Amino acid sequence: MKKVWAIRVGAMALAAAMLAACGGSGKPIDTSAPPSSSGGSSANKDEKVKVTMFIFAGSNQGVVPREVVAEYVKTHPNVEIEFLESTNAATYPKIVAAKQATPDKPLVQFGFFNVSSTDQGLVDDLWEPLNPERIPNMKNTMTNLQRAENKGVPYQLSVMGLMYNKDKVKEPPTSWADLWSEKYRGRVVTFDYQWQALVMAAKLNGGSEANIDPGFKIWSENAKNLKALVNSNDALKNLVVSGDAWIAPWWGSQYKTWLDEGAPLGYVTPKEGPIAFPLYLQVLKGVTPAQRKVAEDIINLLLAPEAAGRYAELTNGIAAVTNAKVSDKVKNDPIFSPLLADKAIQLDWAIMAKKNSEWKERWDKEVKSKL
């Protein structure tokens, strides 16, 4: 269930923010706003500005955004920032519906969007181009993940492999093809309309994103492998941890978080390679100039080395900010090494976004109808 959190300046909020804004080094995250050629990117301090920021739910993904915002509003008492906390799967359709109903009043003004939603947003014309002059920390991001026309800025990266229940699976899986293997009949769980497993089935059987038919053939013939199709991280976690499902295509970052909680989970990188899954920060069309300035300020602060590194540490992700400050433990962990990003499978998310509606119809008819 989504949650909306309002951050306002008050004595208790200030005290909590001062403590929370300290990273592993004990030094506070620098949240001073960047300069701008137009006289500063901060909102006019006399103008009341209210914005809503989309953040991901769970797995510490909201910690750093809240820290940065709490510090920011200390020096911008005219600004009120609310958080819409959920998943892209649940929230993206609502964002599109809001754009269609009230184009000048987006559901959220800015926030976090994975690469799938980012490319779908290009199709749906959701994003404002970002201005590097007003977001100077944009220059310190992985060049291979940067977007055309600066429609979004890369922030973090996760890689997808195969997560499994160690109590149920004695021989760890080795290939993406294990997802449709007979030994996992009724034991696979994945997100509904999440296309990585479909595309890998196509790629391993002579197809591609542009030729998806082999993938649909594989999953139509092996639909009974699917224990469930879910729409939340918790639902997927609960099915695998309980042993109702044994295996899932899943993110190394969230696997590590659940493992640290004591869940009986294992994780492997398939022999064909992991799938890269970047995370972007976006500003939505329909924002007012004042809202845009606030969004640009916060995005720039999130891209600062301390904030980007802290986000990566807390979420077990890979920072797409090249000067992010992370611990040696993270630097030396092969699951979270930036070098893994260079070796990961890069899917054609643009084609997938354009085909999304068509694939949903086919998935419903050719796969879900057989569950």
State the span(s) of the chain assigned CATH 3.40.190.10: 3-156+277-338, 158-275+346-370
Predicted confidence (pLDDT) per residue in 310-351, tens digit = 999 998 888 999 999 988 877 777 666 666 666 789 899 989
Q: What is residue 11's predicted lDDT score, i.e. its pLDDT?
A: 35
Helices (H), 265-348: 289-302, 305-315, 328-331, 338-343
The residue type at 22: C
Q: Are 196 and 292 in contact (CB under 8 A)?
A: no
Distance of CA 39 to the CA centre of its chain: 33
Predicted confidence (pLDDT) per residue in 266-319, tens digit = 999 999 999 988 999 999 999 999 999 999 999 999 999 999 999 999 988 889
**Pick from 49, 107, 54, 108: nearest CA to 73:** 49
**Pick from 345, 343, 317: nearest CA to 330:** 317
Q: What is residue 339's predicted lDDT score, i.e. its pLDDT?
A: 63
Which residues are CB-neighbours of 329 under 8 A, at least 6 positions away?
none
Backbone angles phi, psi at 11, to 5 degrees: -60, -45
Q: How many helices (H) and strands (E) does the chain have?
A: 14, 11
- Which secondary structure element, helix H or strand E, spans residue 329, and what is its range? helix 328-331
Whole-angstrom Cα distance, residue 179 to residue 320?
29
Q: What is residue 194's predicted lDDT score, i.e. its pLDDT?
A: 93
- In sign, the C-alpha dihedral spanning 201, 205, 211, 214 is negative
Q: Are 59 and 233 in contact (CB under 8 A)?
A: yes
Whole-angstrom Cα distance, residue 303 to residue 139?
10
Q: Compute the half-sphere exposure of residue 115: CA atoms within 13 Å on the CB side of its CA.
A: 24
Which residues are CB-neighbours of 53 under 8 A, at least 6 positions away?
65, 69, 81, 82, 83, 84, 108, 109, 110, 111, 295, 298
The fold of the 158-275+346-370 domain, in CATH, is: D-Maltodextrin-Binding Protein; domain 2 (3.40.190)
Q: What is the CATH number of domain 3-156+277-338?
A: 3.40.190.10
Whole-angstrom Cα distance, residue 328 to residue 112?
26
Which portions of the chain are predicted below pLDDT 70?
A: 1-45, 334-342
Whole-angstrom Cα distance, residue 95 to residue 118?
12
Say which residue the tokens 């977007």 belong to: 147
Residue 258 structure tokens = 């659940």
Q: What is residue 257's predicted lDDT score, i.e. its pLDDT?
A: 86
